[in-house]
Amino acid sequence: MENKKTLIKQFSHTDLDGVGSALLLQALLQEQKGYVAENYLPVGYSEPGADGTIDKHILNFIQTNEEAVTELYITDICPSDEVISQLSAYCKDNEITWHIFDHHVTSVHVNEIYPHNASIIVSDEATGLKHSATSVLFKILVGKMPTELFEDEKWQRLANVADIIRCYDCWDWQLNPNAAYKESAAEFNNLFYFYSWDKRIELMGSVMSAGLPLLKDYAEIIAALKEKEEDYVRRKTLKAQFGILDGKTFAYSFGEQYTSVLGNALAHLEHPETKKEVDFSFVLNGKGVSLRTNNDDIDLSVLAARYFNGGGHKRASGGAFAEIQYFISDSENPEQAPTLFLDLKR
């Protein structure tokens, strides 16, 4: 009896870690199992939050798939419990092996429900480093963290790419004085978002193949983007607004770019009433919201789940508004300052 051809379907997140982990998985499987391009269907990329959750993409796959898929992988994003249950049943009926590689604390419980199909790890016990999806892949498939393989002849190229992504996604490049990548982590992210969607995929694929030295070819673009980011964040923080939610002070601003950097800058602002640093910040883009905090006593993943139908990490989370009753977009006119009415329904 002829062996069934390996055909892989992937789902991932649209950010640097999502695209990086999706393509890293392909590179690791190519190295370990000899898989090639014809073994893969196009990756299904999903935005987080209520309006872009992965659930609808998984359900669409279950309902419409006609391909003879043999393996299915989800990286850097996790479906709801209900949809995972449906996916598990579908994969069992169709003899598809499946696995989720993620690092968000709001999804850790999935490990207990599907211990053979889920690797959702927030931090590494051996090194103490926070995980991204790229580093989870290395830990599970290769057996070590990327930082432990920088000098390894076989894995050093991919390990360096994986860890610069991890450094940015976990904000390790700012918070960890011993991080392998400092400014270069943010520079890589800025370069990634400089391009259109297809070019982002192409850039990530090229970096995976050639390694981090390839980024030197983009030095002029990176320098210009850094200047643009600094100016953008400065202007937005000057126009920040303040409020109180659930007894916690916050600063917010409208922002379509540099969300993480802007959010962290806002989180350092002083609230005008308390005269203390705000408890957290959020950046608004349409109905989407990105939250950041410097306060270890606050778990933003809980706040994001409760009010914004989202989730994420303790210090960095995101989601989306279910409804915005009154929303005036950003304005340069001081008499028409940004106004936000939160209709927070539990």
Per-residue pLDDT band at 204 (split at 50, 70, 90)? very high
Give me the pLDDT at residue 152, please: 96
pLDDT of 142 over the 50 cut: yes
Strands 8-13 and 44-46: parallel
Distances (CA, A) of 140 to 84, 99, 160: 20, 11, 17
Q: Average pLDDT, stretch 189-201?
A: 95
pLDDT of 32 over the 60 cut: yes
pTM for the full predicted model: 0.79
Give me the pLDDT at residue 52, please: 58
Tally of CB atoms within 10 A around 52: 17
Per-residue pLDDT tens over the stretch 231-253: 999 999 999 999 888 889 999 99
Q: Which pair of structure tokens corresponds to residue 180?
A: 């392998």
Per-residue pLDDT band at 2 (split at 50, 70, 90)? low
Per-residue pLDDT tens over the stretch 71-84: 999 999 999 999 99
The rounded mean pLDDT for the chain is 89
Per-residue pLDDT tens over the stretch 143-173: 999 999 999 999 999 999 999 999 999 888 8
Given CA atoms 253, 258, 263, 269 in this order, what sign does their dihedral have?
A: negative
What stretches of 187-312 adopt beta strand conformation (E)? 241-245, 248-254, 280-285, 288-292, 311-312
Among the ranges given (35-44, 47-56, 105-114, 282-291), the one the predictor scored with the smallest mean pLDDT: 47-56
**336: CB partners within 8 A, 6+ apart:** 328
Ordered structural domains, the chain, with CATH: 8-221 (no CATH), 239-341 (3.10.310)
